Amino acid sequence: MSSADSSVLSASSMFARNIFQNVFKQEATDREVIWVMRASIVVVAAIACTIGILINSIYYLL
């Protein structure tokens, strides 16, 4: 579970810092970046859960 949590947090943090702050809104405050990170955690976790439920075997992900 720790690895899954770390993966979700890593993907969300990379999106918030590298894409949102550098591409969409360069003057974003830390508070805005944190809220974007929180929202992206929910989105990334939902996508991961959906993939986990729908895929029958890990070999289909290759």
Q: Which residues contact 15 (CB under 8 A, 6 or more apart)?
A: 36, 37, 40, 44
34 conformational bin, left if phi > 0, alpha if psi -120 to 50, beta if neither: alpha
Identify the pLDDT of residue 60.
Answer: 77
pTM for the model stands at 0.78
Identify the pLDDT of residue 56.
Answer: 85
2-59 per-position pLDDT tens digit = 788 898 889 999 999 889 988 988 888 889 999 999 999 999 999 988 988 998 887 8
In the predicted model, is pLDDT for residue 1 greater than 80? no
Identify the pLDDT of residue 3.
Answer: 84
